[in-house]
Amino acid sequence: MSRWRADFPGLDQVINGKELIYLDNAATTQKPEAVLAAVDYAQRIDCSNVHRGVHALSLRATASFEEARRKMARFINASSSEEVIFVRGATEAINLVAHSWGDTNIKRGDKVLVTELDHHSNIVPWQLVCERVGAQVEWVPVLMNGTLDLKVAHEILSSGEVKIFAFGHVSNALGTINPVQEMVAMAHEFGALALVDGAQASPHIAIDVEDLGADFYALSGHKMYGPSGIGVLWGKIEHLAGMPPWQGGGDMIRSVSIEGTTFAEPPFRFEAGTPNVAGAIGLGAASVFIEEAGLSAIAEHEALLVNKAAESLAEIKGVRLMGEKSKRVGAVSFVIDGVHPHDVGTLLDQEGIAVRTGHHCAQPLMDRLGIPATVRASFGLYNTLEEIDSLQAGVEKVVGVFA
């Protein structure tokens, strides 16, 4: 039994006559009571806009919102909460950098380096900025073991033409952990910035942006036990200070007149309009929940889950695991010979087991692996070894049905 399970009311339900086994955590995680309560309080009691009012409710809402920013700064070890921008999620964080930093700094003939392991959220914004300015997207290939071919990254970066190297911390499709520090150092050696998409890392691995050395780091609240519609872009203040706004509106200005507008300092320059106040407060609560659970205790528990899942699935005839076994966190992806992943997902659902099937918004990776889709079981701190036994039994049943 996981010691954290009782905190998650969403897990306590019956699906298709069976106790829910929720193994779709890489898509979104369930929410603990602490997060539900924080969001509820923000909406029910402290419901007010932020940064605008002098009345008590607005002051309380503003204080809680800014406290959430400080919690997130602490969670990722940012040197200042000014470096923490609230956004809708990792997708918006990356789009913000691609628009604001990218449109200003990437010029015709420049290169942007991405990887075949990445989520579409960390590919498409770079394709779009390259189209806008006449630059080119270059790719780091993924090897069949699910790791990146960093020799090729080195070769492309050494041209000196790459402006930014954007890559994931952890692959959502395979669970591969990338050697972030090595990749950041490689980018910096050749004059490129480094953006890390940490959407799949933040629920599993302690994040220290100072130690990683990156220039930007993106994360999504709903993948780390927080609410959806909220996330964080962290950026080094020296970059943020020089970046233009990417959206205009209320809250991001210093002054507006008929002659023109001057803009607020970061982070407010990048937070136009009323923010997701309750979401940010809920995300702050999620970060405290993870800190209190302890990332080393979480990692220890989740390693048992991932290793057991990989071993027990590999024992089943006809099942092929995707990616490398040893450097993986949070997810196990597999295919069953002769069975479409969607059929596997539908039959597992009959057993009350929720997994994700499809290309996982990682089509370049699927192309490289030569498959259209996988079945992905992904884990959170509340999953149990007994649930992995049920997954194994469920997959054996599916194999039996199609034999």
Give the Cα separation of 389 and 399 in Å (integer).
15
What is the C-alpha separation between 157 and 152, in angstroms, rounded? 8
Cβ-Cβ contacts under 8 Å for 384 (sequence gap 6 or more): 1, 2, 5, 305
* Whether 130 is catalytic: no
CB nearer to ligand PLP: pick between 22 and 351: 22
Quote the least distance from Cβ 97 to ligand PLP, whole Å: 13
- CB-wise, 39 or 319, nearer to ligand PLP? 39
Integer Cα distance of 279 and 89 in angstroms: 11
Which of 361, 363, 368, 396 is an active site residue? 361
β-bridge partners, 179 = none
Cα torsion through 76, 27, 324, 153, rounded to 10: -60
- Residues lying near ligand PLP in the complex (CB under 6 A) are found at 89-91, 119, 121-122, 168, 172, 197, 199-200, 220, 222
Instruction: Give 178's DSSP letter.
Output: P
- Quote the least distance from Cβ 260 to ligand PLP, whole Å: 33
Shortest CB 116 distance to ligand PLP, Å: 13
Q: What would the two tokens of residue 299 be?
A: 């990692």
**Least distance in Å: CB of 142 to ligand PLP?**
14
Three-class SS state of 61: helix
- Answer yes or no: are the C-beta atoms of 102 and 91 closer than 8 Å: no
Smallest separation (angstroms) from ligand PLP to the CB of 57: 29
Single-letter code of the amino acid located at 192:
A
Between 29 and 312, name the residue whose CB sits nearer to ligand PLP.
29
Q: Which helix (H) or strand (E) holds 353?
A: strand 353-354
Q: What does 304-321 look like in DSSP terms, one character per residue?
A: HHHHHHHHHHHTSTTEEE
User: Does residue 377 contact residue 331 with C-beta atoms inside 8 Å?
Assistant: yes
Q: How far is the CB of 177 from ligand PLP (least distance, A)?
A: 12
- Alpha-carbon distance 388 to 348, whole Å? 13
If you search the block for the tokens 């040893």, which residue do you land on?
326
The distance of closest approach from Cβ of residue 145 to ligand PLP in the complex, given in angstroms and rounded to an integer, is 19
Q: Side chain identity at 373, as an amino acid letter?
A: A
Amino acid identity of residue 35, one-letter, is V
Question: Alpha-carbon distance 50 to 124, whole Å?
Answer: 32
Nearer to ligand PLP, 61 or 142 (CB): 142
Which residues are annotated as catalytic? 361
